[in-house]
Amino acid sequence: MVANNKVQAVHVQEEKPELKSLYLETLQLVERLHRRLLDVIKDEFDRAGRTDINAVQALLLFNIGDSVLTAGELRTRGFYLGSNVSYNLKKLVELGFIDHQKSRVDRRAVRVSLTESGMEIARVVGELYDRHIGSIDKVGGLDEQEFSKMNKSLQRLDRFWNDQILYRL
C-alpha cells in the first residue's frame, strides 16, 4: 500500500507541477500571514508601551471575547493555534486578564472568561482590526468580493485538511 501511495505521489508531481507549486506557495503564505498578524498585534502593544502581554495572548483574549469557554473549546473552535494553550491560560489568569472556574457539569473542566483587564486587551485588538478595515480596500486593494472569495477558498482548504485527519486519507 505504501509503495502504491509513493507511485501515486510521483505521478501527481509529474502530472500537475503548477498545482503543486501553487499549493506549496499557499502553505507558505498561510504560515507567513499568521506570523505577520502576530507581528502587527505585537507592534500595536509595543507602540502603547504594553509589555505585560504578548501577541499570542492578546489574540487569544480577542478570540474569547464575551464567551465563557474551556481550553478544549478554544482549540476545537480554532481560537487557539498551538500546543501550549494551558500555559497561556495559566499565565493570563496570573496576570489578571482571565477568570477561571471549575465547570459545574464536569469538575475536571475549567471554564474561562475575560476580566475587565482582559476585555481592554480584546478592545485594543478589535480597534486595530477596525483601523485595518478602514483602509484595507484603498491601501491593500482588498474589497469585500476579494475577501469573500479568499474566505471560501480557505474554508475549503480547512475542510480538506480536516478530512485528511478524520478519514486518514
Tens-digit pLDDT profile for residues 121-149: 999 999 999 999 999 999 999 999 999 99
Q: Looking up cell 491601501, which residue turns up? A: 139
Closest CA to 63 of 134, 110, 125, 109: 125
Closest CA to 72 of 17, 16, 110: 110
pLDDT > 90 in the chain, percent: 69
Tens-digit pLDDT profile for residues 57-70: 999 999 999 999 88
Q: Which three cell numbers stand for residue 58?
A: 492578546
User: How far apart (Å, rounded) are the C-alpha atoms in residues 13 and 138?
Assistant: 39
Q: What is the pTM of this model?
A: 0.84
User: Residue range 51-55: average pLDDT?
Assistant: 95
CB 21 within 8 A of CB 34: no
User: How far apart (Å, rounded) are the C-alpha atoms in residues 46 and 40?
Assistant: 10
